[in-house]
Amino acid sequence: MSRQTTSVGSSCLDLWREKNDRLVRQAEVAQNSGLTLRRQHLAQDALEGLRGLLHSLQGLPAAIPVLPLELTVTCNFIILRASLAQGFTEDQAQDIQRSLERVLETQEQWGPRLEQGLRELWDSVLRASCLLPELLSALHRLAGLQAALWLSADRLGDLALLLETLNGSQSGASKDLLLLLKTWSPPAEELDAPLTLQDAQGLKDVLLTAFAYRQGLQELITGNPDKALSSLHEAASGLCPRPVLVQVYTALGSCHRKMGNPQRALLYLVAALKEGSAWGPPLLEASRLYQQLGDTTAELESLELLVEALNVPCSSKAPQFLIEVELLLPPPDLASPLHCGTQSQTKHILASRCLQTGRAGDAAEHYLDLLALLLDSSEPRFSPPPSPPGPCMPEVFLEAAVALIQAGRAQDALTLCEELLSRTSSLLPKMSRLWEDARKGTKELPYCPLWVSATHLLQGQAWVQLGAQKVAISEFSRCLELLFRATPEEKEKGAAFNCEQGCKSDVALQQLRAAALISRGLEWVASGQDTKALQDFLLSVQMCPGNRDTYFHLLQTLKRLDRRDEASALWWRLEAQTKGPHEDAMWSLPLYLESYLSWIRPSDRDALLEEFRTSLPKSCDL
């Protein structure tokens, strides 16, 4: 009787085992199938098969002869499921837990206790496993999956304890996970064991690389490049797929740059580029390196290459039906030095760097390219705008206008500004009514975004360049009107205008007012109306006492009007200020405003100061 049941049981076992082997082979066939859909179907099919097989195995009471197969099927199921979904979920943790509980079911002295966490379960199972040598290799494989799950969920404490138990070492002996991973030696698989998608040794290698890379990157982001170096070297020396290797090399390059070894950094970056496929991160890192070295040409060149590289859609190869290193890497972090953003983001970096380094012509071209990229909806694929922390879209328009003006293309700049205003016209307060109300002086002007004022400012400047003084002055006046009536503190209601974080600072408002006043003053000066100019400059000094340029313009005008007393008083104030804490280094102004301010900076500042220095003592003596 009993012999009969064993024979039935063993034949069933063979049947199940054959099914497992067949499904694993099917997954492997799917793996090698070139067609994406067929591949997906086959793999889904295999997954369902494994699920069914697991159900039938777990429908029976746990028995030691069947358990190795059951654990293997569980492992295959988890591996296929996680690789298909490209990530672990809570379900997989539950699958593992169920398997462990079933192992314990066979051990009366460890009898399954409810409310046991996964960690305690592993503890009990591994302690019991010395009595069950036939389960050892399957259990190690399951432990490898558990480790992968905990690593991807960042539960490193649990992971360390598990590895300690696996290694049989005393708890608390060593907290170095890398070391623990290295010392873990899973037992060799038997030759006649049921087929598996991935064995424990393979899992160990993947875990080792993934963990070393994670740790290195973490250290790099938190600012410990020397600590990061060793981990990253570990990752690079391990079994590392190419895309990951590119990232590891780039991270190594970044480490060396931060440690002040540009030569070695370059070597790693070159190595990363040689690895092929993903050129983005190394190119971006290279541009940073060249910027640090002050090699603007090389920097811009690498940025241009980066734009090109990002234009090529990265042909991601279909993921394997295995637990891969990529699966265990942390989700991409915006703060990571390896985050290279999108094409338009890079294009914006390139354009703004051109503007900052004074290559106005290039900047203008790049900006126009960027705007075309963003606005042209005929492009089959969407291009995202430079998302935060970059500037908001209106600011990109303004930067483009600045670049155009600087490149001497005032007419284009005017067109661009018009475009900006027309596209946002629906959002703006009803201007015609506003002007009327403002003239009547009855109603307050509503708050208007700063960039609207800035657009008028740039339009004025463009008209200046075109020699239309009157139009320029009226644009400056309109800008000032908007700026003075509005207080940015006015809280916004509703959901509108979400992007003005950068332009909303008080400093920016003050500087914008000063810039507009100076610009108008300069136009008055140019048209010979010095008194009007004086008024504007005086107001500007009042509005923005921190802006030294205003003082110079005022000083010059006073001098020209021959109001020497006031000029000397002003000079003394300026002198006192110079001795105090220096300049406006802490301001971070929007790029367009910074560029604009640089235009209206008096060119002969030092000469003027020198002139006063020599002339004033005489007056003092008086």
Q: Under the rule (CB under 8 A), what is the footprint of another protein?
A: 37, 40-41, 44, 51, 87, 89-91, 94-95, 278, 280, 313-314, 316, 331-332, 334, 339-343, 374-375, 377-378, 380-385, 387-388, 392-394, 397, 420, 423-430, 433-434, 437, 443-447, 449, 493-499
Q: Closest by alpha carbon to 54, among 121, 102, 120, 106?
A: 102
Distance CA 122, CA 357 (A): 60
Q: How far is the CB of 489 from another protein (least distance, A)?
A: 15
The smaller minimum CB distance to another protein, of residues 45 and 575, is found at 45
Q: How far is the CB of 46 from another protein (least distance, A)?
A: 14
The smaller minimum CB distance to another protein, of residues 266 and 508, is found at 508
Place of tokens 């990363």: 272
Distance CA 312, CA 596 (A): 36
Distance CA 116, CA 188 (A): 30
The smaller minimum CB distance to another protein, of residues 370 and 403, is found at 370
The smaller minimum CB distance to another protein, of residues 329 and 471, is found at 329
Q: How far is the CB of 121 from another protein (least distance, A)?
A: 17
What would you report as the CA-atom Rg of the chain, rounded to the nearest whole angstrom?
35
**Residue 613 is which amino acid?**
R
Cβ neighbour number for residue 324 with a 10 Å cutoff = 20
Q: Is 445 exposed, middle or buried (0-12, 13-18, 19+ CB in 10 A)?
A: middle
Residue 534 contacts residue 616 (beta carbons within 8 Å) = no
Distance CA 421, CA 432 (A): 14
Q: How far is the CB of 172 from another protein (least distance, A)?
A: 33
Please tell me the total number of residues recorded for the chain in this structure.
622
The smaller minimum CB distance to another protein, of residues 82 and 464, is found at 82
The maximal CA–CA distance of the chain, rounded, in angstroms, is 129
Distance CA 328, CA 141 (A): 16
Q: Is 535 exposed, middle or buried (0-12, 13-18, 19+ CB in 10 A)?
A: middle
The smaller minimum CB distance to another protein, of residues 82 and 300, is found at 82
Q: How far is the CB of 332 from another protein (least distance, A)?
A: 5
CA 464 to chain CA centroid, Å, is 40
Distance CA 250, CA 279 (A): 10
Distance CA 373, CA 143 (A): 49
Residue 547 contacts residue 553 (beta carbons within 8 Å) = no
Distance CA 58, CA 342 (A): 48
Long-range contacts at 581-590 (CB < 8 A, ≥ 24 apart): 583/548, 584/546, 584/547, 584/548, 587/507, 587/511, 589/507, 589/508, 589/511, 590/391, 590/395, 590/398, 590/502, 590/503, 590/508
Q: How far is the CB of 392 from another protein (least distance, A)?
A: 6
Q: How far is the CB of 502 from another protein (least distance, A)?
A: 13
Q: How far is the CB of 342 from another protein (least distance, A)?
A: 6
The smaller minimum CB distance to another protein, of residues 336 and 556, is found at 336
The smaller minimum CB distance to another protein, of residues 18 and 492, is found at 492
Q: How far is the CB of 501 from another protein (least distance, A)?
A: 11
Helix/strand/coil (H/E/C) assignment for every residue in 194-237: CCCCCCHHHHHHHHHHHHHHHHHHHHHHHCCHHHHHHHHHHHHH
The smaller minimum CB distance to another protein, of residues 152 and 550, is found at 152
Q: How far is the CB of 600 from another protein (least distance, A)?
A: 27
The smaller minimum CB distance to another protein, of residues 524 and 592, is found at 592
Distance CA 198, CA 91 (A): 20
The tokens for 186 are 């899973």
**Residue 222 is which amino acid?**
T
Q: How far is the CB of 521 from another protein (least distance, A)?
A: 30
Q: How far is the CB of 63 from another protein (least distance, A)?
A: 23
Q: How far is the CB of 404 from another protein (least distance, A)?
A: 17
Q: How far is CA 43 from CA 116, 313, 432, 532, 602, in A?
A: 34, 26, 65, 79, 71
Residue 592 contacts residue 502 (beta carbons within 8 Å) = no
Distance CA 458, CA 473 (A): 12
Q: How far is the CB of 472 from another protein (least distance, A)?
A: 25
- DSSP label at 445? P
